[in-house]
A and B are shown apart, each in its own frame.
Chain A
């Protein structure tokens, strides 16, 4: 096991559309085990762009990215999909759930994809996560039968199903009211405390950020 869960070195990213602009300028930082880190910065400063790179979905960048000591830069599509499946959990601002499947199935699918446990075990684990997030009563519903805050809790349960090394979130509370937002924050806090879960959350919410272990401030593509 490496000292850092996440180690980003000299990440550079620019877009060529319509004119060449540098979004991330030689950006380096690390995240340790069990840390709850928030990323803040003005709109358009490149937070989401950074997160897509860290989450391996965007491979078009310069620099190196290590996850738990393993170099991710240069791996192919199938290998990165495997890494995302096994080692990274996601929570988005918009509650991205699969509308064709029940809540329980939504949580189970990444587990079934990994295939580390049997279907029964995965169902048990999913039920347990949904239970701790207070969503057990709703688990046979379809996603469109839930409120925004409820969906976000389901998304967190889904992110947890494969015991990922790190959970990343892009404004996971951005669409929620104060009450739901606090609820989601408390869940994250519990996760770091009880499971030593590493978290990297992009947010606009200053209150939210202040309560995390560390804030990474970004401005014009660099960390300040």
Chain B
């Protein structure tokens, strides 16, 4: 088969019907453009919203829940082994929230190749007070370096530096809402009271804002050492181990595994934030659906135009067949014709899609809750461009296939006799 000649003839036929061809290509272009833009924008939004939660959420959190023991003494007794034992009024024994043996657990986790990093934490309820005001809240004793590396703490620090927590003794990084209510600024000293009743003075070295009111209005950060001192605990006391994994999807399985291995409670990000996953996938599905619908509409446009063209080009097809083109050759000519429209529309669609995304990327979008975001978020991902182009080719190919088959099966004798 002489490909070059067939393509040349396709182009000749397109040229003779340049207006319709352009209209068809513009249809494809529009579809691809919207597809790429929508996906980039929607996923930009997804990433932003996920970032709000997922960046800051551990993939697995290990902690100790206060609850009754599942292993009651009677079950250990050989004498009652065969019996069914009913035990009433079990009370939980408060072993405290501390993770025992935390050092060796952390060591084991650091050795685990599936783990990206771990951040130990002390999490305890307290009261803030400054002047006459008392506020309930939560203080987090953190490993500042790990918290920055794994949870991008600095992105949310709006005043001061988180690194000062490890430099300045007895310092605190205060939630923006807490600071506002207490009416304190950087450099001021506030008092925190623990559940045990100890009161300590802490110096405010920075303000942090996550954009989620219930967090900003209650939480604050301090170094692990300061938190241990506040609580009068030893220097291996921690309440949580936050783990980030290399592969997020392994979290549910690994959480179970760790819970069993370390005899701790473990919660994975998928369980803790199921609603966000759903939101993301719904947005993705919507953008795919809209983009693909547009391309299918464009496909129908191509189908119509090709059908019309074949009707007009009966003579041309008859002559080609009479002079030695087989049905297959003619079929390919019309498929190429359709694909040329698809390629042209696809290429321009990608270019315009990129342009439109860049424009959206420039539109200011400022909100107090998202300090790091200044414009509408766009996620530039080559995969979307690839999918968009592939779909453009696929729809134009399918749209061209039926008319092309019809063209290939035209009987030249009928056309010539019809004259």
Contact = CB atoms under 8 A, between A and B. Distances in A.
Interface of A: 48, 52, 55, 57-58, 77-78, 80-82, 84-86, 90, 92-94, 96-101, 105, 109-110, 112-115, 158, 170
Contact of A81 (B16, B315, B324): B324
Contact of B324 (A93, A97, A98, A114): A114
B318 interface: yes
B371 interface: no
Contacts of B13: 100
Contacts of B316: 98-100
Contacts of A99: 16, 315-316
B416 A81 contact: no
B412 interface: yes
A77 B410 CA distance: 12
B323 A93 contact: no
B413 A57 contact: yes
B417 A48 contact: yes
B326 A77 contact: yes
Interface string B379-419: 00000000000000000000000000000000011001101
Contacts, number: 78
A90 to B, nearest CB: 5
A78 B326 contact: yes
Interface in B296-338: 315-316, 318-329
A98 B322 contact: no
A80 B361 CA distance: 59
Contact of B319 (A78, A96, A115): A96
Nearest to A88: B324
Contact of A90 (B9, B15, B322): B322
Given A98-B316, A100-B15, 20 more contacts: A52-B417, A57-B416, A58-B413, A78-B326, A80-B326, A81-B324, A81-B325, A84-B322, A84-B324, A85-B325, A96-B319, A96-B322, A97-B319, A99-B315, A109-B320, A110-B323, A110-B324, A112-B2, A112-B5, A115-B2
7 contacts: A57-B412, A77-B328, A78-B328, A100-B316, A109-B9, A113-B2, A115-B5
A133 B325 CA distance: 25
A77 B412 CA distance: 12
B324 A86 contact: yes
A145 to B, nearest CB: 14
A113 B413 CA distance: 21
A85 B324 contact: yes
A91 B307 CA distance: 28
B6 to A, nearest CB: 9
A53 to B, nearest CB: 9
B326 A90 contact: no
A100 B12 contact: yes
Contact of A113 (B325, B327, B416, B417): B325
Interface string B152-193: 000000000000000000000000000000000000000000
A51 B318 CA distance: 15
A170 B319 CA distance: 14
A105 B319 CA distance: 14
B15 to A, nearest CB: 7
A158 B324 CA distance: 12
A55 B324 CA distance: 11
A57 B322 contact: yes
Contact of A109 (B321, B323, B328, B419): B323
Contacts of B412: 57
Contacts of B320: 98, 109
A158 B323 contact: yes
A101 to B, nearest CB: 5
A77 B327 contact: yes
Contacts of B315: 96, 99
Nearest to A98: B316
| Residue of A55, A90, A100 most packed against chain B (CB within 10 A) | A100
A71 to B, nearest CB: 19
Contact of A55 (B2, B16, B322): B322
Contacts of B12: 98, 100-101, 105
Contacts of A101: 12
Nearest to B417: A48
Contacts of A77: 326-328
Nearest to B5: A112
Contacts of B9: 109
Nearest to B317: A98
A80 B2 CA distance: 16
Contacts of B329: 81, 113
Contacts of A86: 324
Contacts of B318: 96
Contacts of B417: 48, 52
Nearest to A83: B324
Question: Nearest 7 pairs between A and B by C-beta?
Answer: A85-B324, A81-B326, A100-B16, A78-B326, A100-B12, A110-B323, A96-B319
A112 B318 CA distance: 18
B409 to A, nearest CB: 9
Nearest to B12: A100
B5 A109 contact: yes
B120 to A, nearest CB: 75
A97 B316 CA distance: 8
